[in-house]
Homo-oligomer: A and B are copies of this chain.
């Protein structure tokens, strides 16, 4: 297999583009896709500092890498979810990445904000774990951006992430999720910063190849709570469809954005106001994040610790009990 651009030995075949590239030309292709996406969707401007939300995984570190290399004024934001070794290791990767490039990294901990880490939140709320975690991350991203004067947050969501989200919303025909599905969430309120996804046209496989070829040390493990998540099942379905018909995933997402999304946006005016408790935006009286924090607080630290210990019997978390014990002692103190 030869590189489509230089004729040298290709390292990666991209079936949906019916092409193949050597390492250097793939990196150039990848960067070009990111910059084209940023330009076409008006995601970032050169003079505007951007907060890059990094998880320690391939996508967000690849994004930060591309933006740093292109000279954007970036700061990293790592949100510590308190998920045992997974969080410790992913934080270490982000810190090493930032240190190696002389970049600034902010670290905010869910435990400080919501009163407990995600394992405790999981134990005391009835919300699906990924839902409580996503809510916390979106809240913290926005507040960190406001606190530190950023008008925009960039996240590493890739094509597979976005297509899977769209797939889930479509199976339910969830009109408000469908209306919100976009690579550029505009700042529709003074307390809401713009959120952009410059990797949304690049597949998971492509971001992994970029991170690998650039020698980025990222965390390969999935979050231990993601096992059995619906989004993973949906990704598998989409992968099967992609195997049969390369490009299916991209056309599903891009055709939606072009043709169908306007139909869901019309007549879906969301009125935002400030949360009576924290001042961030909400459609109600008190925002969902404050309600979650209330629930965690009401459950009490002792109950939280007990619940987490019971939870640790779960096969997926076996062996983490001592970890949790230590964590709940810290939170109880």
Give residues in A with beta carbon < 8 Å to B. Answer: 170-173, 175, 178, 233, 237, 240-241, 244, 248, 251-252, 255-256, 258-260, 263-264, 266
In the bound complex, residues from chain B placing their C-beta under 8 Å from that of A233 are 241, 244
Contact between B260 and A171, CB atoms less than 8 A apart: no
Contact between A172 and B251, CB atoms less than 8 A apart: yes
Within 8 Å by CB of A240, from B175, B237, B252, lies: B237
Contact between A171 and B241, CB atoms less than 8 A apart: yes
Known: A172-B251, A233-B244. 11 other contacts (CB 8 A): A171-B241, A171-B248, A171-B252, A172-B252, A173-B255, A173-B256, A173-B258, A173-B259, A237-B240, A263-B263, A263-B264
11 A-B residue pairings within 8 Å (CB atoms):
A171-B248, A171-B252, A172-B252, A172-B255, A173-B256, A175-B260, A233-B241, A237-B240, A237-B241, A260-B264, A263-B266
In the bound complex, residues from chain B placing their C-beta under 8 Å from that of A251 are 171-172
A256–B172 alpha-carbon span in the complex (Å): 8
In the bound complex, residues from chain B placing their C-beta under 8 Å from that of A178 are 260
A80–B175 alpha-carbon span in the complex (Å): 43
A255–B172 alpha-carbon span in the complex (Å): 7
Contact between B240 and A173, CB atoms less than 8 A apart: no
Secondary structure call for the A interface: helix
Most buried by B among A170, A251, A256: A170
Shortest CB-to-CB span from A258 to chain B, Å, is: 8
Contact between B171 and A259, CB atoms less than 8 A apart: no
* Closest chain B residue to A252, Cβ basis: B171
Most buried by B among A256, A263, A264: A263
In the bound complex, residues from chain B placing their C-beta under 8 Å from that of A259 are 173, 175
In the bound complex, residues from chain B placing their C-beta under 8 Å from that of A244 are 233
Within 8 Å by CB of A237, from B237, B258, B264, B266, lies: B237
* Closest chain B residue to A245, Cβ basis: B230
Shortest CB-to-CB span from A89 to chain B, Å, is: 31
In the bound complex, residues from chain B placing their C-beta under 8 Å from that of A266 are 263
* Closest chain B residue to A170, Cβ basis: B170
A237–B244 alpha-carbon span in the complex (Å): 12
In the bound complex, residues from chain B placing their C-beta under 8 Å from that of A263 are 263-264, 266
* Closest chain B residue to A258, Cβ basis: B173
Contact between A173 and B237, CB atoms less than 8 A apart: no
A241–B252 alpha-carbon span in the complex (Å): 18
In the bound complex, residues from chain B placing their C-beta under 8 Å from that of A256 are 173
Shortest CB-to-CB span from A77 to chain B, Å, is: 34
A170–B263 alpha-carbon span in the complex (Å): 14
* Closest chain B residue to A173, Cβ basis: B255
In the bound complex, residues from chain B placing their C-beta under 8 Å from that of A175 are 259-260
Shortest CB-to-CB span from A175 to chain B, Å, is: 6
Shortest CB-to-CB span from A174 to chain B, Å, is: 8
In the bound complex, residues from chain B placing their C-beta under 8 Å from that of A255 are 172-173
In the bound complex, residues from chain B placing their C-beta under 8 Å from that of A252 are 170-173
